[in-house]
Structure 1
Amino acid sequence: MIITTAGRSQSELVSQAKRLSHSYGLPYLERNGAPIERLKRQYQEDIVVVGKERLFISPLQGEEKLFFHPNLAMVRAKRVFKGEEEPLISTAKLKEGMSFLDCTLGLASDSIIASIAVGASGSITGIEGNQLLYFLAREGLASFVSGNDFFNQAMRRINVIHNDHYSFLLGAETGSFDVVYFDPMFHTGINTSTGINVIRKQALTTNISVDVINEAKRVARKRVVIKDHWKSERFDQLGFTQHKRKTSLFHYGTIELTLKKR
């Protein structure tokens, strides 16, 4: 990726772009009024554009602008704040103070809900293998401002790590998280919106295999949770108990574990 600024470069935007360039080890490019499409053709790279209101990424392959927005997480959070049931929270049995590892972070919708559930005394770690999505999620969670302080705080508490989930699990200590979570729906899901499909193309599609789940079972203290299409064969193949929901096209699955000593 290459980092530049929107439109005419203002000093504050240049400073922010250079900060990001340094933080992520990415080259900074003076915009000098050049169209983004021309920069993509010239450098054959995804372009990060730092704007006054927000930053976005223009992928090399595609015309859609990619930017962070919590979207459905905000709708789900409103229901949680009203005391309504949230399927992820109830299925994963998330409570105040628990630790949650999201192995397929994407743009962090599920991690935000988990963060609300476990609160300030809990911890949320999100793993994202694709550099573009990692960048969007990490910067977006740190800077997006909603109209709800509890929601903002939940986003800020998420620790975003750039890695593939299998490598991370292999290096994690036994019983180091209460819940380990997978959402392959992010890669092969039913949402047909153009924006989601563009983002999905950028996802790192590491297969969720028996070996991956075995490592997840070692790392999790309480349970491993998966979200998948209701017709998916993964539930049976990987040993999950499928929790059926009549009105939903996706279901959760769980593997309950005996308590491990730290």
Structure 2
Amino acid sequence: MSPIVTTSVNAGETIVKAAQKWAIRTNHTFILRNKRSLSALATDYGYPLLVYTAQGPELITPTGRHFFSLQMAQLRIQRLRRQEPDYLLTAVGLKQAGRVLDCTCGLGADAAILSFGLPAGSEVQAWEKSPELAAITAWGFQHYVHQQADVTAALRRISLKVADYTEALERIREPFDVIYFDPMFTGPIMTSSNFQPLRSLLPRTTLSPSIIQQALKKCARVVIKERAFHTARENAFSGTKIGGKYSRIQYVILKGEWKHG
């Protein structure tokens, strides 16, 4: 059963109406809260629950709650302001405006960095397989207001849709400059407190060699966060690795088949 949308306990008419509209946009059923506890709602409708509040929507699961935040991107943005490198942007390698597809949007941190740091005029599209996680992240891209206007503007430029890259890649008609993968739920990152509320919701995803090959046909460059690349490493893929000397995060760059012009 698809998760329901409800509101915080003491939500006023404005929040109720906003929650109803959001439920329609995200293809979920709205249920009036009527002072019921979350546990009572879960008994009636099951987990997860989508709760719309004055601060935005939250995803409630048996292991916690998740809401949109730039916590994972904030430090990287500060480093970019100091003219320090971000290795994802370095791996993407665009020197002029281009089209980038983030196949594994998740919480939205990498898409936010791409939109903020790529050359002006660049297009960032993002896919997320989980409809519930996509609903929260898309709300953040559309409505979250950062204290710095250029960050807010970067979020607004991201286009996010629900899509499973294992099926959607072959339907791409207009090639991208870069296609990026970080199937974040394949490895130890799931132990992070940021991901605890999502453990029961999201399946483990494997980036297979066939998917990488499909992506290579649709772009000039494929970038893969290394921990995901380990699951698909084969002699057929000869790539360049980039990352900080002491960083746990490395990126693998593969040359795609599409040529500019």
Q: TM-score, normalised by structure 1?
A: 0.90
Distance in 1, Cα, partners of 2:78 & 2:89: 14
Aligned to 1:110: 110
Alpha carbons 1:185, 1:228 under 8 Å: kept: no
Distance in 1, Cα, partners of 2:229 & 2:19: 45
Q: CA deviation at 1:104?
A: 0.7
| Aligned equivalent of 2:33, options 31, 34, 47 | 31
Residues 213 and 85 (structure 1), Cα distance of their counterparts in 2 relative to 1, 3 Å cut: same
Q: CA deviation at 1:208?
A: 1.1
Distance in 1, Cα, partners of 2:235 & 2:68: 34
Aligned to 2:69: 69
Alpha carbons 1:230, 1:244 under 8 Å: kept: no
Query: Structure 1: which amino acid aligns with 2:50?
Result: V
Residues 77 and 237 (structure 1), Cα distance of their counterparts in 2 relative to 1, 3 Å cut: farther
Query: Structure 1: which amino acid aligns with 2:44?
Result: Q
Residues 199 and 119 (structure 1), Cα distance of their counterparts in 2 relative to 1, 3 Å cut: farther
Q: More deviation in 192-201 or 18-27?
A: 192-201
SS in structure 2 of the partner of residue 7 of structure 1: coil
| Residues 123-173 of structure 1, C-alpha deviations (whole Å, 9 max, x = no match) | 011110111111111111111111111111111111101010122111002
SS in structure 1 of the partner of residue 125 of structure 2: strand
| Residues 186-205 of structure 1, C-alpha deviations (whole Å, 9 max, x = no match) | 44243633232332543344
Instruction: Please list every run of 5 or more consecutive structure 1 residues that lacks an aligned counterpart in the other structure.
Output: none
Aligned to 1:229: 227
Q: CA deviation at 1:225?
A: 0.5
Q: CA deviation at 1:113?
A: 0.8
Q: CA deviation at 1:53?
A: 2.1
Alpha carbons 1:184, 1:228 under 8 Å: kept: no
Distance in 2, Cα, partners of 1:238 & 1:54: 45
SS in structure 2 of the partner of residue 232 of structure 1: helix
Q: CA deviation at 1:259?
A: 4.8
Query: Structure 2: which amino acid aligns with 1:168?
Result: A
Aligned to 2:248: 249
| Residues 50-99 of structure 1, C-alpha deviations (whole Å, 9 max, x = no match) | 1112221112xx14111110112111011112211111111110334111
Q: CA deviation at 1:246?
A: 3.0
Q: RMSD across aligned C-alpha pairs, in angstroms? A: 2.2
Residues 244 and 138 (structure 1), Cα distance of their counterparts in 2 relative to 1, 3 Å cut: closer
Q: What is the 5 A alignment of 1:111-150?
A: 111-150=111-150
Q: CA deviation at 1:235?
A: 4.1
The number of equivalent residue pairs is 258
Q: CA deviation at 1:10?
A: 0.6
Query: Structure 2: which amino acid aligns with 1:207?
Result: T
Alpha carbons 1:5, 1:14 under 8 Å: kept: yes
| Residues 23-63 of structure 1, C-alpha deviations (whole Å, 9 max, x = no match) | 1221111111000111011112421111112221112xx14
Distance in 2, Cα, partners of 1:158 & 1:213: 23
Alpha carbons 1:95, 1:117 under 8 Å: kept: no
Alpha carbons 2:100, 2:124 under 8 Å: kept: yes
Alpha carbons 1:99, 1:118 under 8 Å: kept: no
Distance in 2, Cα, partners of 1:162 & 1:185: 16
How many percent identity over aligned positions?
26
Aligned to 2:60: 58
Q: Which has the higher contact order (CA 8 A, sep 6+)?
A: 2
Residues 196 and 206 (structure 1), Cα distance of their counterparts in 2 relative to 1, 3 Å cut: closer
